[in-house]
Amino acid sequence: MISSVLAQGKPICFGRDGCRRQRRCAFVNSSGYELSSFPLDYPEAIKQARESTESALDDGFELLEVEFPTSCLDAVAGDAEGANEMTYSSEYLRSFSRLFLDRADRTRIFFPDKKEMELQREVGPWSQTNFQLDYFTKPSGFLDIGVDISGYDPSEHVDDQDELFIAAYPSFDPRELVAADKVFQCARKKFQQDGRRRPLIFFNAELDRLRSNYYPGLFYPEMSRLSKEMMPLVESAYYIHNFKGAGGGVLFRAYPGPWQVLLRINKEEVLVVHTQDERPSLKEVALNVLPKAALEYRRQLR
């Protein structure tokens, strides 16, 4: 189902301190069901992400994506320095993971590498936790030139008692996503043995790089394989992607709702201009949906 709508929200705050304020929206699409409101701030975004993830897990999905900008809810990639984005992601993940407090000792969280895990365990928000903290890669000088002589395999850390895995922002090094796939494949093998599903949640993994062929298959054959084999299995439980410019807007989804395209009218207003059940490509939104919506909006103002 595809629907185009123009509905305007009402004012309320949006974003981290220092970010502009936004109007809160509650919309109904042409089929008559209510759409999720775009979050007014990070606490609401995390709350929505928890609820959407819980619904997707209840529906049996094994690979989930939770993706949103970390420096500000209207930010785009590159707006914040990489280390700061990792710090923000860790803080938001700590809040998000409260959804799994009842099984914290059976939830394994993989950080990008061993140094990041140790840093979070020592001075980060994870210094006191019952969650099982782990890592995808071991940093070394050889890794810097693309050679891994450690033989490290994170799937060997998977315990029979584990019930859930979270891949914490594995977006810096392609090997982190390859490692995440190894963990997922290990979980599937264990399911064949004991019948217990062990879902994996990608938290701010920038999976759009795999969707857009960011990694040339000739030089990154493993990433090409993940694009073809793993990505079709990923369900976007919660997703925010911003587009800047004169026809700027947002691609937004909170499971089980449809995909929404929001047009930014000014610093205080957004319009829902398009909804559909299937995920649109970022290229389609940027080059087709948003420009047409901006033209239609200006036409209606005349």
Whether 151 contacts 125, CB under 8 Å: no
Whether 240 contacts 68, CB under 8 Å: yes
Task: Print pLDDT tens along the chain (302 aa).
Answer: 555 555 443 322 233 333 434 444 444 444 445 789 999 899 999 999 999 999 999 999 999 999 999 999 988 877 777 788 999 999 999 999 999 999 999 999 999 999 999 999 998 889 889 999 999 998 765 554 445 566 789 999 999 999 999 999 998 899 999 999 999 999 999 999 999 999 999 999 999 999 998 888 888 899 999 999 999 999 999 999 999 987 789 999 999 999 999 998 877 677 999 999 999 999 999 999 999 999 998 888 87
Residue found by looking up tokens 């992601």 in the block: 89
- Give every CB contact of residue 78 below 8 A, 6+ residues apart in sequence: none
Query: pTM (2 decimals)?
Result: 0.88
User: What whole-number distance in Å separates Cα of residue 125 and Cα of residue 212?
Assistant: 33
Structure tokens at 279: 């995920």
Residue found by looking up tokens 């929206």 in the block: 25
Judged by DSSP in three states, 52 sits in helix
User: What whole-number distance in Å separates Cα of residue 136 and Cα of residue 168?
Assistant: 10
